[in-house]
Structure 1
Amino acid sequence: MADRGCRTPTGGASYAPETSPNPVLTCWVIRTHTMASLSAHENKKFLIVDDMPEMRSSLRSQLASLGHSRVAISSNVKTAVAQLEQDSFDVILCDYFLGDGSDGQQLLEHVRKRKLISRSTLFIMITAEKGYVSVMTAAECLPDDYLLKPFTADALKLRLESLLDKKARLAKVDAMQDKERWPEVVAACDEIIASGDRYQTEARRIRGNALIACGRFDEAMAFYRQVLAIRVMPWARFGLARAQFAQGELEACTATLRQLIEEAPQLLSAYDLLSQIQLDAGQTDDALHTLDQACEIAPESLSRHRAIARVAEKKGDFTRVESALTRVVTKTRNSPLRETADIASLGNAHAEMGAPEKAIQLIDEARKNFKSDADDPHLAAVEALAQHKAGRPELAAAALSRALDTTPGSLPQDVALRIARACLATGQQDKGEAILKSIVQNNPESTAVHAQVTEALNVHGTPGRAAALIQEGVQEVVALNNEAVRRGRAGELGAAAEMLTEAAERLPGNAQIVSNAAFALLLDIYSNGPDTVKLHDALRFQKRVTMLDARHPKLADIAELQRRIRTKYGQTA
């Protein structure tokens, strides 16, 4: 851990903690004798997150000297998450090192992923290490700014004034981003850029992200190239790579990412995207090497260790899975940052390496300590496999029964695949094959999924069965889709929409089925009149398709049909 000791401040400063001072700790925050308050922002709500009591007290005292009385404090990730679940804050001041293996970057990624804070919330990271700033500015979840220790109260005041003014200027844009109204975000950013506003660089960054989010990839690539022609900036280079990836220009994307890694080697997101391209191409060794490079820069990054485990599992390197996830599980054991999938994958690695008892012990511990894991189907599937390998068929059957209590089609693909493998390993061939067929039907054109299904049947089921099962699954989807199209063309719009809606609910990962369901529902509305339930389902399916494949050609047809509905009925669609 980095040195958190004291550096002796210079100048006429005095130390003013609320409690008895610890000179080694409280000297980090320096308070000047005279301090004007941030009158325009003094009603803001603050949350201080720091594991050291003296630092929490000193920061609170500083904020009080600036006129801020609405201040809450938290000593760790767990209590911070609990407070954010119950209340909203305008400003979060978070130390990078939070003890117990947790850090402020992990907290930021967690609360942004779970949407516990909006874009209007100001998140400031406090650190004594300049190196962490250069790494974290490249992370996919950025704090709004950093404060390097030691800092004076005057410096804190000026920084807060500047950042809060920026938040106020971009409040409209932030609110539209939170609502995912991307075309409006683009238009609002255009206004800021055209005005020559001092925040136009930030507006450009947001504009590029919004263009990608609403599927305008060609326009995004042209925009990023225009920015780069003026000045080489890592965020613009990465934006160009993202747009190229979304457009399917993988060779160009790879070249852009390699150039970016050379120009800005600490931009971690570049390694993430490059490893994804390599993994999709079946280059697992290259993907692991790329992620290892990222971990050399940010060795405590949970997301990269999780990514290494996922790639290593696809490769069958369970020793590597065990190494990566043991680190993650140890660091998050008593933290809200823990994920059940980590425990399941680690337990599976133990079982595959010939240590089923170790897997069972790990799962039992998770169930004992976390009630939410008691009936988790992912853990139950891994336990079934481990109990089978341990020679306890009755316990294996009981665990598998718990795993099957949840409809596999509603589960993430990796969980459904784990349950299918457990079924096959314990002799429930029909159930296992039914789950595998559903996985194929959700991803009928994915060679990677077909390879996983083949591997599962070869290892745990009937070798040679995969080709026939995959063909059956694909043919059933084609037949269903063709029948729905036939009914639609015959004027049976309601029947076609109903058929495709049922299929989309059953196969939520099949972009073709889900997009056709959205289009059929909208066509039914256009022809037969507004229907709130059908409109809600159509928009839900449209959003799902965008998540699955933002380049899907049917999205343009859906958008055009929405426009026609608005013109005809004045409906918001």
Structure 2
Amino acid sequence: MTITRDTYSRLTALLVDDHAIQRQQLRWHLAQLGIDRIDQAGTAQEALNQITRRSYDLVLCDYNLDTNARGIVSNGQQLLEHIRTLGVMGPNTIFVMVSGNNNYKDIAATVEQKPDAYLVKPITTKALEERLQRLIERQMALSAITSRQRAGDHNGAVAAAGQVMAAHPEYTLPAMQMKGGSQLELAAFDDALVTFEQAIAISAKLDWAQYGKARALKGLRRTDDARLVLKELVARNSLYTSAYEMLAAMAEEEGNDAEAMAVLQRSIDELPSPRRSRALADAAYRAGDVTTARRHYETVMKATKGTFVARGSDVLMLAQSAVDLGDHKEALKLVQDNMKMLGQDAAMEGVAFSLQAQAYSATGDMASAKQAAASAKTRAFSPTTSLNTMLMAKGLLAVGDSSGLDVLKEVVKGDHENAKMLNFARKVLKDTGNEAQTDAIVDAVASTVRTTIEESQKLRRSGDFMQAKHMVDRALTEMPHNTGVLIEAAQVYLLALARQERKDSQMVGAVSGFLDKLEELLPGSDRVTAQRAYFRRVLSSAKP
């Protein structure tokens, strides 16, 4: 492939550096190559805003970024990890880290979220051109795969990966990585396992291949094998954070909260970050270890206040932890001090008022508590299984507002299979003096949902798809956010569609809607991934 000046002229670039002179120098180097469509960002927050609004071909980011008024430094590695976690940067974007410290190469060689390249200052136009040429050639060679992945055509991406490996053997490994990723998306776990093992046969030190193998094994329900692969991965590369997160999730699924928290703590010890501290705080809170949760929420707040990764939910969870531990004045101060940020989102503002209602009620100031609860009720909230909705219910019940019971009932309807959430609902009822309502609000509702799903399963297994469809349609009217009902509805509709030579367009649209909602409610669920793969197969069998 020949990279010409015309190739460079078509590129869009973003320069991220807190020093204007450094940005101007980088801009000059890019201009020498023919790149003139260039935006600039002086802080990590500005960069995040730019990347969220526009797609760039190239991002040149300084490693050492801004220091805020509290002396907290944001660096380029944190920005890279954050934007990739959010999924706001395009798959074809080339991210190059610029550092004045040659030691950054040690970090770049081991962290999971690697930049595409790094350059050590001082930079010359020639050095920049040599690096960009190789990266653009790679991008062009893999574009047949990335374009299909971006369009959601994972079958096409798998086929394209085979073609790329044949035409460009020098890009075999990145093509295999993308192929394995698409096979996981298709729930073709056996095929994905083969792909990742082929990559490992080329080089056993490929962290992404080991992690992909673990994901495939988990999809095949070979949990013990997946756990062994992950443990070997973090033993070799202690900075591969996704491996810790997967190990922790598996431990929580098995009810081993202590193991989940220990794994997350190790990830923090190896590579501290607000995101990892937040994950541990959330796990501790779900497990009922409020003291540990509060300590780590405090760590997150201290590290993120005034930075681009600050979240209102951290304030809310820290305040709730303070309420639970009896530190009501601290909870009120936290909410009041951060009300400007919380007020930017109606749901968060509602939870903030709910927390105030809990705190005022505990201190005996019922007039203020009722006023806060009334304000909470005017704010929007979603009847999902989020902790925020639980906190809303708790605030209402704290002032004797029985509508909090209806909120809890909706939460249970949202996910009757979530044992931790059901236990939290029981705790809310106990803490607010409503323990006598546990059977009616939690146990009976969960039992009703289970019975509905079981009856639908019996009907579809007997081949009575239309009756099963009527049953799940009624259930969805009552509980549109329940993941179990949505999964059953998708299964009923899929089996009915599979029997049709010409597919009913309304049913196709309904299944697509079910799966979209499930992917939002259950990100990364193997069951949902498998249903999506079956949906594609059903549609591909349709007669024109």
Query: 1:476 & 1:130 partners in 2: Cα distance?
Result: 62
Give the AA of the match of 1:420. A
Structure 1 residue 402: deviation in Å? 4.1
- Aligned residue among 410, 416, 425 for 1:438: 410
Structure 2 equivalent of residue 174 of structure 1? 146
Matched, 1:122 2:94: yes
- Aligned residue among 523, 527, 530 for 1:552: 527
SS in 1 for 2:526: coil
Alignment of 1:361-510 (within 5 A): 361-369=333-341, 371-373=343-345, 376=348, 377-405=350-378, 409-428=382-401, 430-463=402-435, 466=438, 469-481=441-453, 489=464, 491=466, 495-496=470-471, 498-503=473-478, 506-510=479-483
Structure 1 residue 287: deviation in Å? 2.7
- Kept in 2: contact 1:127–1:149 (CA 8 A): yes
Structure 2 equivalent of residue 30 of structure 1? none
Give the AA of the match of 1:475. S
Alignment of 1:234-253 (within 5 A): 234-253=207-226
Q: In the superposition, relative to structure 1, how do residues 274 and 437 fare at CA in structure 2: closer, same or farther (>3 Å)?
A: same
Over residues 250-302 of structure 1, what are the superposed CA-to-partner deviations in whole Å (9 max), with x where a residue is unaligned?
22222111111112222222222222223333333333332222223322x22
Structure 2 equivalent of residue 65 of structure 1? 32
Query: 2:140 & 2:344 partners in 1: Cα distance?
Result: 39
Percent of counterpart pairs with the same letter? 24
Query: 2:407 & 2:33 partners in 1: Cα distance?
Result: 60
Structure 1 residue 411: deviation in Å? 3.9
SS in 2 for 1:286: helix
Structure 1 residue 149: deviation in Å? 3.6
Structure 2 equivalent of residue 14 of structure 1? none
Give the AA of the match of 1:91. L
Structure 1 residue 162: deviation in Å? 0.9
Structure 1 residue 307: deviation in Å? 0.8
Matched, 1:279 2:252: yes
- Aligned residue among 162, 186, 190 for 1:190: 162
| 179-188 vs 516-525, greater mean Cα deviation | 516-525
- Kept in 2: contact 1:366–1:373 (CA 8 A): no
Which segments of 5 or more consecutive residues in structure 1 lack a partner in the other structure? 1-35
- Kept in 1: contact 2:503–2:542 (CA 8 A): no
Structure 1 residue 539: deviation in Å? 0.6
Query: 2:62 & 2:10 partners in 1: Cα distance?
Result: 23
Query: 1:312 & 1:434 partners in 2: Cα distance?
Result: 27
Q: In the superposition, relative to structure 1, how do residues 251 and 128 fare at CA in structure 2: closer, same or farther (>3 Å)?
A: farther
Give the AA of the match of 2:373. L
- Aligned residue among 20, 35, 42 for 1:75: 42
Structure 1 equivalent of residue 328 of structure 2? 356
Structure 1 residue 464: deviation in Å? 6.9
Structure 1 residue 398: deviation in Å? 3.4
Structure 2 equivalent of residue 542 of structure 1? 515
RMSD (CA atoms): 3.3
Alignment of 1:191-230 (within 5 A): 191-230=163-202
Q: In the superposition, relative to structure 1, how do residues 79 and 559 fare at CA in structure 2: closer, same or farther (>3 Å)?
A: closer
- Kept in 1: contact 2:383–2:414 (CA 8 A): no
Structure 1 residue 94: deviation in Å? 1.0
Q: In the superposition, relative to structure 1, how do residues 125 and 559 fare at CA in structure 2: closer, same or farther (>3 Å)?
A: closer
Structure 1 residue 125: deviation in Å? 1.9
| 339-348 vs 247-256, greater mean Cα deviation | 247-256
Structure 1 residue 340: deviation in Å? 1.7
TM-score w.r.t. length of structure 1: 0.82
Aligned length: 529
Give the AA of the match of 1:244. L
Query: 1:494 & 1:260 partners in 2: Cα distance?
Result: 45
Structure 1 residue 207: deviation in Å? 1.4
Give the AA of the match of 1:121. T
| 157-166 vs 473-482, greater mean Cα deviation | 473-482
TM-score w.r.t. length of structure 2: 0.85
Structure 2 equivalent of residue 305 of structure 1? 277
Query: 2:346 & 2:516 partners in 1: Cα distance?
Result: 32
Structure 1 residue 322: deviation in Å? 3.3
| 447-456 vs 45-54, greater mean Cα deviation | 447-456
Which segments of 5 or more consecutive residues in structure 2 lack a partner in the other structure? none
Matched, 1:43 2:10: yes
Alignment of 1:284-295 (within 5 A): 284-295=257-268
Structure 1 residue 404: deviation in Å? 4.0
Query: 2:103 & 2:420 partners in 1: Cα distance?
Result: 38
Structure 1 residue 561: deviation in Å? 6.3
Alignment of 1:1-16 (within 5 A): none
SS in 2 for 1:93: strand
| 39-48 vs 131-140, greater mean Cα deviation | 131-140
Give the AA of the match of 1:94. C
Query: 1:241 & 1:565 partners in 2: Cα distance?
Result: 30
Structure 1 residue 375: deviation in Å? 5.3
Q: In the superposition, relative to structure 1, how do residues 140 and 404 fare at CA in structure 2: closer, same or farther (>3 Å)?
A: farther
Matched, 1:518 2:485: no
Over residues 310-357 of structure 1, what are the superposed CA-to-partner deviations in whole Å (9 max), with x where a residue is unaligned?
122234444433332333334433344222211111111222233322
Structure 1 residue 75: deviation in Å? 0.4
Give the AA of the match of 2:464. R
SS in 1 for 2:119: strand
